Amino acid sequence: MIQLSDKIQKLETSATLAMASKTRELKAEGKDIIGLSLGEPDFNTPDFIREAAIQAINDNYNSYSPVDGYEDLKRAVQLKFNRDNNLDYNLNQIVVSTGAKQSLYNIASVVLNPGDEVILPCPYWVSYKDMVKLNEGVAVEVQTDIEQDFKMTADQLRSAITPKTKMLWYSSPCNPSGSVYTEEELRALAEVLKDYPNIVVVSDEIYEHINFGEKKTFSMGEIDFMYDRTVTVNGVSKAFAMTGWRIGYIGAPEKIANACKKLQGQVTSGANCIAQRAVITALEAPVEKIQFMIDKFKSRRKLILDLISGIQGFECNEPMGAFYVFPNISFYFGKTFNGKKIENATDFSMFLLEVANVATVTGEAFGNPNCIRISYAASEANIVEALERIKKSLT
């Protein structure tokens, strides 16, 4: 009999992908499901990027690409980091991968040893914890709540650090809460980390441009004494509507970048050559070229927050970035609707799928058992209809 490895048997299935799969199954059965579970822009990739990909095909880009990315793409990444984040990386500090997800997994693989602890402010993106687990690390979850806008404080960080702490991982803007750490908040965290020079920080900035505040997203690496121990992770999936193109990248201390390149050379080699050529055009373009999508997300945010405010028992912060709301729905725990008793966020999410025909994601997958994640990367018509269905199912 075939025996699978212990690590794969312990691995959880991605909750967002599992819900997306379930949604597709129900739609195939003829059910009218509104999907608000996936973090995927509902826009087409902008024409100027698609045209660059077509040109790359016509220019016969069809060979293996360099493991860490084409040099001119790395120069475009270098330009982007400098222009948007005040970060100066040399080309040896940049590694291009098959999506930011691979970038994150690479980092965990080359930094963690068995038993190393990784601090994860909750809520966190679903894959962080399992990436740590796959690499024999230990996830240390730091709980936050709506009152603190789902952001970890300096005191909480200090309390979470032990002699085994190896890394701190966070996203800003955050998936799933939409919270954005301010410069002052990150500097406060950095002051704590000053006393622990061996802790590596992983700053996931994939939603960087989808920021509704007056100030740009601040990067931990901009702080002088944090630059040499911060890995800045980004990609083109979200802001450029390029989820399927699978290109992510890092700016990192050279030792970590070289290790990621070494690992990637044995696992996937270089990322898709056509996608890489298109991303050069995307990153070199001014942010104004994608502003129309950001503006649309902002108007949808207002719409969904207005609708949620009319549903009893939904408590929600005002997300300053990304395209999610993360309401606390614990008001409904212990209650029964349509013969279904709701004990936790997973029950609630499944109730909405089965009764309201709306797909969301349980907050348990993000480290918060009292919330659900709702994506507003959907048409306004679908958002209105989905929230109406949810409200009706709970009355």
On the CB side of 316, how many CA atoms lie within 13 Å of its CA? 25
Residue-wise pLDDT tens digits, 339-355: 889 999 999 999 999 89
Cis, bond preceding 123 (omega within 30 deg of 0): yes
Residue 321 DSSP label: B
Question: What pLDDT score was predicted for residue 162?
Answer: 98
pLDDT of residue 16 exceeding 80, the answer is: no
pLDDT at 2 over 90: yes
Tens digits of per-residue pLDDT, 302-337?
999 999 999 999 999 999 999 999 999 999 999 998
pLDDT the model gives residue 117:
98
- Predicted pLDDT of residue 276: 98
Q: Which of 77, 66, 13 is nearest to 268 (CA)?
A: 66
Q: Residue 137: its pLDDT value, please?
A: 97
Q: Give per-residue pLDDT as tens, 83-106.
A: 999 999 999 999 999 999 999 999
CA dihedral 279, 280, 282, 286 (to 10 degrees): 160
Residue 247 has pLDDT above 90, yes or no: yes
Which candidate, 165, 123, 136, 103, places its Cα nearest to that of 11?
Answer: 136
| pLDDT value, residue 38 | 85
In this predicted structure, what is the pLDDT of residue 305? 98
Q: Stretch 131-156: mean pLDDT, rounded?
A: 97
Average pLDDT over residues 362-381: 96
Percent of the chain having pLDDT more than 70?
Answer: 100
* Both structure tokens of 362: 């349980």
Residues near 141 by Cβ (< 8 Å), separated by ≥ 6?
120, 122, 124, 129, 367
Burial (CB < 10 A; 0-12, 13-18, 19+), residue 195, is: exposed
Per-residue model confidence (pLDDT) at position 325: 98
Pairing of β 361-362 and β 358-359: unpaired
Rounded CA-CA distance 395/391 in Å is 7
pLDDT of residue 12: 80
Cα–Cα distance between 65 and 96 in angstroms, integer? 11
At 254, the amino acid letter reads E
Choose between 224 and 28: higher pLDDT. Answer: 224
Residues 172, 178, 183, 189: what is their CA dihedral angle, to the nearest 10 degrees?
A: -70
pLDDT digit string (tens) for 199-244? 999 999 999 999 999 889 999 999 999 999 999 999 999 999 999 9
For residue 17, pLDDT beyond 80 = no
Residue 31 pLDDT: 85
- Return the H-helix or E-strand segment holding 97: strand 94-97
CA–CA dist 381, 173 (Å, integer): 25
Given a cut of 80, is residue 121 above it in pLDDT? yes
What is Dmax (Cα atoms) for the chain? 61
Whole-number Å distance between alpha carbons of 298 and 6 = 44
Q: What pLDDT score does 30 carry? A: 83
Whole-angstrom Cα distance, residue 209 to residue 203?
14
Under the banding of pLDDT at 50, 70 and 90, the label for residue 127 is very high
User: Is beta strand 340-341 parallel, antiparallel or unpaired with respect to 165-171?
Assistant: unpaired
The pTM (predicted TM-score) of the whole model is: 0.94
Average pLDDT over the chain, rounded to an integer: 95
